[in-house]
Every structure is written in structure tokens, then in C-alpha cells.
Amino acid sequence: MCPEGGDAGCGAVTALATADETTGVWRDPGFQADHDPLDGHELFRGIGPFVFDRAAYTATIERFRPPRSTNDDGRADPQDPRGR
């Protein structure tokens, strides 16, 4: 990821992330240096999919999210794009 803008223009290892009620899955990992979908030569063949327990996966991701914005009265800010 590019340190200036956080986009994939400088190159990043990416994966398709999906989830259902019980699992989180990362599949089709590859090296991406733009915003176009990965094509065959950019994929890491023979790696994944990686399957996680959904509750544990969500709890881990939440640990790294910044605190949600609040209004002066402590209620969630409706302009916060996370909407939780």
C-alpha cells in the first residue's frame, strides 16, 4: 500500500474477503498494483482459501478499528460511515 494515500498503487497483497453467519473466508490472494481485478498471472496459486470462525474473525477486526465518532452527548455520530 502507498503510505501517502493508502491505496494499492504501490503494490499490495490482496484477497477476496467474504462472510456468512458462521465463517469468514479469504480467497484468491494475489499481488495487486492497481485498482483493476486480479488476472491469472497476479494470483498466488495453491494458497487458500483461509476460513475463520466468524465471531472470532469479527472480534479480531474490531480490535484494530479506531473508536467510532460520537456527538457531544456521547451518542453515535450519524455521519460516521461505519454506522454502528
> Could you tell me the residue ranges of all domains in the chain?
8-64
pLDDT at 1: 57
All residues at 6 or more sequence positions from 57 whose CB lies less than 8 Å from its CB, including other chains: 19, 23, 24
pLDDT at 50: 95
Q: What is the mean pLDDT of each run of 10 residues along the chain (84 residues)?
A: 65 87 92 76 86 93 76 62 54
pLDDT at 55: 94
Angle (CA) 13-14-20 rounded to 5° is 145
pLDDT at 11: 77
- In the numeric block, the cell 497476479 is attached to 42
pLDDT at 61: 86
Alpha helices per DSSP H over 1-84: 54-64
* Number of helices and strands in the chain (H, E): 1, 3
**Residue 30, phi then psi, degrees to nearest 5:** -170, 180
